[in-house]
Amino acid sequence: MIGTNLLGPEPTLLAADTAVEAALAADENLETVVRAHPESPLAWALLADAADAEGSEIEAYAFARVGYHRGLDKLRKAGWRGAGPVPWSHEPNRGVLRALYALRRAAASIGETSEVERLTEFLTGADAEAIVEIEAGR
């Protein structure tokens, strides 16, 4: 395995958020889900996606920014130290990765180029396939 850093950090694997998953599976209103689970990066990312789909760029950016910070909180609580893999293949990680992607997309929509570059680097460092998977709708 040439190129693999065997001394690098272990992948961060978040715990499942079954309450949020259940609320989303029950088709609860996204604002209701966020109010009940404000710590969920997935709920904020989905709210950002909805705002983006409506053309509400500033709201999408704000919702995505909250999701990003909630995601950082979850990662740090799980032992992440600012670097290392956050695999897309581990489904509970997807909320954080989707929040990062939503912020990247929202930053692009308002012309915040340096933030787009930073978030692209963050996402590809977390999992090189994350952007492709999100854009494919998985």
Residue 138 pLDDT greater than 90, yes or no? no
Q: Residue 25 and residue 20: Cα distance in Å, rounded?
A: 8
pLDDT in tens, 15-56: 999 999 999 999 999 999 999 999 999 999 999 999 999 999
Domains of the chain: 18-135 (1.25.40)
Give the chain's radius of gyration (CA, Å).
15
Q: Residue 79 and residue 59: Cα distance in Å, rounded?
A: 31
**pTM (2 decimals)?**
0.93
Percent of the chain surpassing pLDDT 90: 92
Mean pLDDT of the chain: 95
